Amino acid sequence: MQSNRLGWLLLAPTLLILAMFGVFPFIYVLFVSFHQWNPFAVNPEMMFNWAANYRRVVFDAQFIASLGVTAAFVFFAVVSELVIGYALAQAFMKDFPGKAFFRTIHTLPLIMAPIIVGSVWKLMTTPSIGIIPHLLDNWFGYDLNIGQSATAAFVVTVIMDIWHWTPLVTLSLIAALVSLPPDPFEQAQIDGAGRWQIFWHITLPMIRPAILATVFIRLMDALRTVDEVLMLTGGGPGSATRYVGVHIFKEVFPRTNYGYGSAISVVVLYVTIVVCWLLYVGLIAPRNKKG
């Protein structure tokens, strides 16, 4: 009984912080989402409007479009980060000259604030002063202008995200690979298994939980990307990179549409949970059942 009480006492600070910064804000956002509230309207007070905001979300073409480009962004960014991150993790498992240096350099983007990442990429991609359009023009005669081409802007935002967040995937997978026991690999080699067979039947199943955890983290992060993209393209050209995070930002802050913005946030949270659940059900649950 006493140890139970002590346990709760020790947990109390964490629970308090979680409640203050997680639970209460979420409840507040949920509460606001059922109101019409724009402080710069004729009536600046909050007015309860039932589920009108949610009804509007469903028929909001701009929101649906932003959800579509976000899905594409998340897919290309997360899959690329996973593939490149795994390749780099495998590379860093081996010894080579300058390994420590490269690993440090490779990790640097991770410690940069997203707003800085966006600024740096903006400088690098601005026609006339940016190194990337300059090189692409010199080498391939390709005229990169992310203020003009929707496809180019989309691709650059994906590459920027890959550059920024692949190190996180690499570090997670290095941790997973390091913890693998050597026995199954040795036995497989003795049995004559090839590299691909070893990867597919041994490595991948064993690091699956780490991959899933990493994918969940990156998926949730990518779904709420704001700063980098806002700095790089402002959501443009047109609405080509107006991802849901950017869309919510523009609704809530400049437009001060607090009620509707909160409703969109709740819907995006719901979508994130559903996507993660589907991933879990599709990839983890069947394995557990078999086991």
Partner 1 sequence: MGFRLKLGVSALALAVASGAAFAQDDEFWKKAAEPYQGVTLRGVTEATPPSNYVREVLAPQFEELTGIRVDIETTSWDQMYDKAIKDMESGTGIYDMIYIEQDIVYAYLARDFLTNVTQMLADNPQLKAPTFDEGAFTTFADYFKDEDGGLYGIPMEAFIKVYLYRTDLFNDPEVQAAFKEKTGHDLKPATTHAEYAEIAQFFTDWGKEHDEDLWGTTSQAHTGHPASWYEYVESIAPTFGVYNWGIDAANNYAATVEHGGRMNSPEAKEALKWFLAMRDLAPPESVQSTWTEVASTFAAGRAAQGIVYGENAAWIASDENQSRVVGNVGVALPPLEDGILAQVEGGEGYVGYYDGGAFGLPVTSKNKEAALLFLEYIGQDSVQAQWALAGSRITNTATYDDPEVQALDKELGGYFTMLRDSGKLFAGAPPYPFHAQVREAVAPIFYEILTGTIEPDAGLDQMAERAEQELTDLGYRQ
Interface residues with partner 1 (CB under 8 A)?
38-44, 62, 122, 126-129, 143, 145-148, 150, 230, 233-242, 250-251, 253-257
Strands 35-36 and 47-48: antiparallel
Closest approach of partner 1 to the CB of residue 89, in Å: 35
Closer of 80 and 149 to partner 1 (Cβ): 149
Closest approach of partner 1 to the CB of residue 138, in Å: 15
Closer of 225 and 241 to partner 1 (Cβ): 241
Closest approach of partner 1 to the CB of residue 252, in Å: 10
Closer of 254 and 291 to partner 1 (Cβ): 254
Closest approach of partner 1 to the CB of residue 165, in Å: 22
Closest approach of partner 1 to the CB of residue 227, in Å: 10
Closest approach of partner 1 to the CB of residue 141, in Å: 15
Closer of 156 and 222 to partner 1 (Cβ): 156
Closer of 146 and 169 to partner 1 (Cβ): 146
Closer of 85 and 235 to partner 1 (Cβ): 235
